[in-house]
């Protein structure tokens, strides 16, 4: 199996799910290479220097200096064809969802997305809103796969040696039809949820905006950052840069302390890699309890004030 | 502006789910089918575009057995102009690439300016059919659109990235765009709309059942996930609960 991992380059930094995808590839394939394009290529090559990879393929081309689906899908196709990769892997991110289907159509091989585990050549994917799991397989020995967050752990990354090779992509301006403007944030903020050790995360169980400061107070006592689920952000109670989930940040802190989050799959995929999960929820059947290490059945608005008090005293 | 909206019929969120005898999908005979909720937002966006431009046509395109005509009719009741039903009795949930090829056979001759689809389906959640179709048709694509604006020969799309970031893209038409859920408030059909929908055309396109040799991937087994974690349940008096939580934070997790 000749595996290519397509890395996601966040302005010179590797996406966390890309590292997990390399771990997945190392478990899956006999030879594993990685592809990276965009700005700050050297940083990424350095970051992976001690990683056990056949080689890192870099593409430095004006038309893919920033992400665009037209250019990226064309480059991945060309790389896959010229090195005869039969398995293409990536983390299941918004970017992957945007361009990988195009690679699938270009190469005529299936894209099996959002995989949560692997048994030989069978790939397990959640279906019907995560109520059931399905085992999928490709009809040929070729496939594109993307892994859900926390399917593999960065800690299992195999170290070793890794060469690098420049690939000259054949791209003409006519390929890139979409004109992309620079990405921007609606709420400016410099909170780095992904490097926080402890997150106190707010869900609908906080009930109203006036109660949100409780979470900030608790976080302060614990030296934690505050994050939130999508409904709370959509209500405008908490800034969008604090959102965790498929549309927000993907986090893996030492402790994820969720306050009144029910645990919809869109939220869970962004935090299930947390080392420990503690959750408070009124509903003892809340899905968040299925992945929690500590399930606290109760009212956030009763427990949190008393907890803050107790932490003051201790 | 001629707009296609790709709509899928899926098991409703409240449906009871039981695994079928061959253990490769659910028993559909006990399922209540609904319009895939994310597709509702794509339909609403199409109707809003047409209303804003004060001209154009919105066409619902759906693939599946006879039953999918129900969701086509629902779209027509909300204001779409006509429907296309691509008849397919095989299990279509599992193979987006083959499905996309089938759609392309039908969409090609219609020359749509815009093809809109939902973020993903609530059954298998492959989240790629709209993009596959765009690539197979050789037109522009975008995903996770949270705002659209039609310009002369172009469409401007505000795309959601991760962690609170966004990006504006300008795509030449025709384009295939998948819509992020929540960007608008889907309407309910009016009584007049429901009555009117009965007279609207649903074109039936019969296609031969997708053969196993044609498939690019398969779903081999379906099963109930098992819990992988040991969970300590803490409940009872608030004071006791708080006492136990402090103990865990201090001694077990050592985070305070």
User: Are B26 and A132 in contact, with CB atoms under 8 Å apart?
Assistant: yes
Q: State yes or no: pLDDT of A43 exceeds 80.
A: yes
The two structure tokens encoding residue A67 = 């992400």
pLDDT value, residue B191: 96
Nearest to A275 by CA among A170, A154, A123: A154
pLDDT value, residue B14: 84
Mean pLDDT, residues A218-246: 95
Residues whose CB falls within 8 Å of the CB of residue A273, separated by 6 or more in sequence, listed in order = A149, A150, A153, A250, A251, A252
pLDDT value, residue A186: 84
Q: Which pLDDT band holds residue A190 (cuts at 50, 70, 90)?
A: confident
Separation in Å, CA of B195 to nearest CA in chain A? 33
Q: Which pLDDT band holds residue B213 (cuts at 50, 70, 90)?
A: confident
Q: What is the pLDDT of residues B86-116, one digit of tens each?
A: 999 877 778 999 999 999 999 999 999 999 9
DSSP state of B70: H
Nearest to B99 by CA among B111, B86, B112: B86
Mean pLDDT, residues A231-236: 94
Q: How many CB atoms lie within 10 A of CB A258?
A: 30
Q: State yes or no: pLDDT of B13 exceeds 90.
A: no
Q: Which pLDDT band holds residue B36 (cuts at 50, 70, 90)?
A: very high
On whether any CB of chain B is under 8 Å from the CB of A179, the answer is: yes
Q: Which CATH class is domain B2-214?
A: alpha beta
Q: Which of B90-99, B216-225, B247-256 has the lowest mean pLDDT?
A: B90-99
Q: State yes or no: pLDDT of A20 exceeds 80.
A: yes
Query: What ipTM did this prediction achieve?
Result: 0.94
| C-alpha Rg value of chain B to the nearest Å | 22
Q: Hey, which bits of chain A come out as E strands? A: 2-6, 9-10, 13-14, 31-37, 55-59, 87-91, 111-119, 122-127, 132-138, 143-147, 163-166, 179-180, 184-185, 198-202, 225-228, 255-259, 276-281, 294-297
Coil/strand/helix, residue B106 = helix
**Chain A residues with CB-CB distance to B225 below 8 A:** 126, 130, 132-133
Nearest to A311 by CA among B35, B255, B16: B255
Q: Which of A77-81, A112-116, A120-124, A303-307 has the lowest mean pLDDT?
A: A120-124
Separation in Å, CA of A179 to nearest CA in chain B? 5
> Percent of chain B scored above 70 by pLDDT?
100
Domains and CATH numbers, chain A: 2-175 (3.40.50.620), 193-313 (3.40.50.1220)
pLDDT value, residue A192: 86
Coil/strand/helix, residue B253 = coil
Q: Chain A residue with minimal CA distance to B179? A: A98
Q: What is the pLDDT of residues B226-239, one digit of tens each?
A: 877 899 999 999 99
Q: For B17-52, b where at least 16 C-beta lie within 10 A, e where not — what string? A: beeeeeebbbeeeebebbbbbbbbbbbbbbbebbee
**Looking at beta carbons, which pairs linking B150-156 to residues 24 or more positions away fall under 8 Å?**
B150/B1, B150/B49, B150/B52, B150/B53, B155/B114
Interface of A with B in 82-141 (CB under 8 A): 93-95, 97-102, 104-106, 108-114, 122, 125-140
Mean pLDDT, residues B131-151: 98
Cα(A223)–Cα(A290) distance, integer angstroms: 26
Q: Do A221 and B256 touch (CB under 8 A)?
A: yes
Mean pLDDT, residues A263-282: 95
Q: State yes or no: pLDDT of B212 exceeds 80.
A: no
Nearest to A267 by CA among A283, A291, A239, A301: A291
> Percent of chain A scored above 70 by pLDDT?
100
Q: State yes or no: pLDDT of B57 exceeds 80.
A: yes
Distance of CA A116 to the CA centre of its chain: 12
Q: State yes or no: pLDDT of A60 exceeds 90.
A: yes
pLDDT value, residue A177: 95
DSSP state of B179: E
């Amino acid at each position: 199996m000749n595996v290519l991992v397509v890395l996601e380059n966040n302005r010179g930094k590797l996406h966390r799910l890309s590292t997990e995808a390399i771990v997945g590839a190392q478990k899956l394939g006999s030879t594993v290479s990685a592809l990276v394009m965009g700005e700050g290529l050297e940083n990424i090559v350095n970051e992976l220097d001690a990683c056990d990879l056949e080689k890192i393929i870099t593409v430095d081309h004006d038309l893919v200096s920033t992400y665009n689906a037209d250019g990226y899908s064309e480059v991945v196709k060309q790389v896959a064809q010229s090195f005869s990769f039969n398995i293409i892997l990536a983390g299941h991110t918004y970017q992957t969802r945007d361009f990988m289907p195009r690679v699938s159509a270009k190469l005529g091989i299936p894209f099996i997305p959002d995989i949560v585990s692997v048994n030989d050549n069978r790939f397990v994917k959640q279906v019907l809103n995560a109520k059931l799991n399905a085992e999928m397989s490709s009809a040929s020995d070729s496939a594109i796969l993307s892994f859900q967050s926390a399917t593999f752990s960065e800690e299992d990354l195999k170290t070793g040696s890794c060469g690098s090779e420049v690939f000259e992509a054949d791209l003409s301006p006519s390929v890139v039809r979409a004109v992309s403007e620079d990405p921007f944030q609606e709420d400016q903020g410099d909170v780095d949820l992904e490097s926080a050790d402890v997150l106190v995360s707010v869900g609908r169980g906080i009930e109203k905006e006036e109660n949100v400061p409780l979470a900030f107070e608790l976080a302060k006592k614990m030296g934690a950052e505050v994050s939130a689920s999508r409904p709370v952000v959509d209500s405008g109670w908490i800034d969008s840069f604090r959102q965790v989930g498929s549309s927000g940040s993907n986090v893996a802190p030492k402790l994820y302390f969720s306050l009144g989050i029910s645990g919809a799959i869109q939220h869970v995929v962004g935090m299930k890699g947390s080392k420990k999960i503690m959750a408070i929820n009124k509903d003892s059947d809340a899905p968040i309890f299925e992945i929690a290490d500590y399930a606290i059945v109760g009212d956030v608005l009763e427990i949190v004030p008393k907890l803050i008090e107790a932490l003051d005293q201790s | 502006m001629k707009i296609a909206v790709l709509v899928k019929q899926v098991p409703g969120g409240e449906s009871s789910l039981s695994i079928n005898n061959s253990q490769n999908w659910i028993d559909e005979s006990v399922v209540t089918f609904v319009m895939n909720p994310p597709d509702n937002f794509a339909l609403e966006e199409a109707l809003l575009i047409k209303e804003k431009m004060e001209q154009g046509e919105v066409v619902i395109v759906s693939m599946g057995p006879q039953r999918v005509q129900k969701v086509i009719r629902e779209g027509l009741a909300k204001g779409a102009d006509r429907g296309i039903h691509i008849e397919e009795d095989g299990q279509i949930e599992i193979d987006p690439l083959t499905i996309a090829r089938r759609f392309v056979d039908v969409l090609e001759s219609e020359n749509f300016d815009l093809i809109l689809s939902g973020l993903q389906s609530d059954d298998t959640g492959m989240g790629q059919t709209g993009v596959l179709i765009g690539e197979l048709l050789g037109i522009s694509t975008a995903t996770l659109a949270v705002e659209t604006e039609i310009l002369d020969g172009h469409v401007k799309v505000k795309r959601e990235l991760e962690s609170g970031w966004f990006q504006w893209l300008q795509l030449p038409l025709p384009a295939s765009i998948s819509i992020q859920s929540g960007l608008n408030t889907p309407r309910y059909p009016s009584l007049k709309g429901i009555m009117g929908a009965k007279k609207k055309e649903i074109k039936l396109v019969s296609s031969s059942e997708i053969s196993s040799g044609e498939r690019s991937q398969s779903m081999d087994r379906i099963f109930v996930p098992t819990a992988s974690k040991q969970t300590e349940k803490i409940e009872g008096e608030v004071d006791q609960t708080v006492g136990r939580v402090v103990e865990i934070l201090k001694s077990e997790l050592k985070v305070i």
